[in-house]
């Protein structure tokens, strides 16, 4: 019995984290067993790696070191949590996965697709999402929401990526849309504008036939 692996992708401030939580609640109401996880993070060790990656004090972090840390977190999460949950037949919802690394490091930082895919083969050992939901909003909406969130006390330390230039975020959105075209059989683009409930309905329509 193999479960279903569903990933959420999108820019910072796209609303994907809220949408993943709403989907998890709905699936549980339908009686499904769900594991929610996040990249970077998801495990104790991954959470420690996440702190290094998102700490705005770490301005000296080099692109290659950054790339390897994202995959270190992912390798730990795949082996410790994601793969066992899938083997137990659960639905695994993951807030970001390798498509984030393709968009942010591969394209945004210019490290290239091949480098990212090579590391993916090592870290994830062939595990790929069954379905990827790209919660898409325009760059202004995304940055506006991300800045509102960062103004709150609790997330003020996790700003290193949000502080990148507008141009960087534009590139990330373009990369996501290109990925969705390239891997069109597993990607669904969800219009992220509107109320959380409206977006959640769009998510449900995309997911229902897959679970
Ligand atoms: P989050 O706030 O959505 O959890 O994402 C954390 C930040 O890390 C976000 O700015 C995107 C970035 N990120 C990458 O640059 N590469 C990756 O592989 C992942 C998973 C996240």
pLDDT tens column, 121-159:
999 999 999 999 999 999 999 988 888 877 765 555 677
CB atoms within 10 A of CB 28: 13
- Residues in contact with ligand 1 (CB, 6 Å cut-off): 12, 38-40, 54, 70, 95-96, 100-101, 104-105, 161
| Domain count within the chain | 1
Which pair of tokens denotes residue 125? Answer: 């050992």
Q: What is the pLDDT of residue 2?
A: 81
For ligand 1, what atom is nearest to the CA of residue 161? 10
CB atoms within 10 A of CB 93: 23
Of all protein residues, the one whose alpha carbon is nearest to atom 10 of ligand 1 is 161
For ligand 1, what atom is nearest to the CA of residue 96? 20
Give counts: helices (H), strands (E), the chain: 9, 5
Q: Across the chain, where does the E strand assignment appear?
A: 4-9, 34-38, 91-95, 131-136, 187-191
- For 60-72, letters b (16+ CB in 10 Å) and e give eeeeeebbebbbb
Q: What is the pLDDT of residue 42?
A: 97
pLDDT tens column, 98-120:
999 999 999 999 999 999 999 99
Going from the Cα of 168 to the center of ligand 1, the distance in angstroms, rounded, reads 13
Its domain, for residue 147, covers: 4-210
pLDDT tens column, 154-199:
555 677 777 788 899 999 999 999 999 999 999 999 999 999 999 9
CATH number of the domain where residue 143 is located: 3.40.50.300
């Amino acid at each position: 019995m193999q479960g279903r692996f569903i990933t959420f992708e999108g820019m910072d401030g796209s609303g994907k984290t809220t949408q993943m939580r709403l989907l998890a609640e709905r699936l549980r109401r339908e009686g499904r067993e769900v594991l929610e996880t996040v990249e970077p993070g998801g495990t104790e060790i991954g959470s420690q790696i996440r702190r290094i990656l998102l700490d705005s004090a770490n301005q000296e972090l080099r692109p290659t070191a950054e790339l390897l840390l994202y995959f270190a977190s992912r390798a730990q999460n795949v082996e410790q949590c994601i793969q066992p949950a899938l083997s137990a037949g659960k639905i695994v919802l993951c807030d970001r996965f390798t498509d984030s690394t393709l968009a942010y490091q591969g394209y945004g930082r210019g490290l290239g697709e091949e480098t990212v895919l090579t590391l993916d083969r090592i870290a994830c050992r062939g595990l790929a999402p069954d379905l990827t939901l790209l919660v898409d909003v325009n760059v202004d909406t995304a940055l506006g929401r991300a800045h509102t969130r960062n103004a709150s006390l609790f997330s003020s330390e996790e700003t290193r990526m949000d502080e990148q230039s507008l141009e960087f975020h534009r590139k990330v959105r373009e990369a996501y849309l290109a990925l969705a075209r390239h891997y069109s059989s597993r990607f669904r683009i969800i219009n992220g504008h509107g109320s959380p409930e409206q977006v959640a309905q769009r998510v449900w329509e995309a997911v229902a036939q897959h679970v």
